[in-house]
Amino acid sequence: MKKILSLTAIATAVLIFSNCSSSKKAIAAAPAKFNYETNVQAVIAANCAPCHIPSKGGNKRPYDNFSNVKADIDEIIRRIELTPGTRGFMPFKGTAKLSDSTINVFKQWKTDGLLEK
């Protein structure tokens, strides 16, 4: 009888622990949504300065803030996907497109719902 009880206890413990680790995995597997502060801000600072960053001396439409970038996201994506040399292409006078992964930051942010943080 004692043997059966301790076997049951071990089996229960194994079940609990295995459930525990699989639920942790499920949480880790859900990718975080892109947001302005974590994903977009730095990409703009790196690629759209100084022209769109007033504190860097830019006098074009400011993209140093969440609300302007959110409001213009469709136009931003349209322009960074143009062929270099085409009218409206951004970054202005650039000779190469941003990398696919950088362009994807803007697209994924839009897909995820244009969150601020």
Give me the residues that bind ligand HEC (CB under 6 A), please. 47-48, 51-52, 60-61, 72, 75-76, 79-80, 88, 90-93, 98
- The nearest distance, CB 91 to ligand HEC, in angstroms, is 4
When the beta carbons of 36 and 98 are compared against ligand HEC, the nearer one is: 98
Region of residue 85 (phi > 0: left; psi between -120 and 50: alpha; otherwise: beta): left
Cα-Cα-Cα-Cα dihedral of 7, 8, 9, 12, to 10°?
Answer: 120
Cβ–Cβ under 8 Å, residues 114 and 73: yes
- The nearest distance, CB 115 to ligand HEC, in angstroms, is 18
Q: How far apart are the first and last CA of the chain?
A: 57
- The nearest distance, CB 102 to ligand HEC, in angstroms, is 8
- Show the tokens assigned to 8: 């049951």
When the beta carbons of 8 and 94 are compared against ligand HEC, the nearer one is: 94
When the beta carbons of 12 and 111 are compared against ligand HEC, the nearer one is: 111
- The nearest distance, CB 117 to ligand HEC, in angstroms, is 20
- Show the tokens assigned to 89: 């292409």
Measured distance CA(33)–CA(117) in Å, rounded: 9
When the beta carbons of 22 and 59 are compared against ligand HEC, the nearer one is: 59
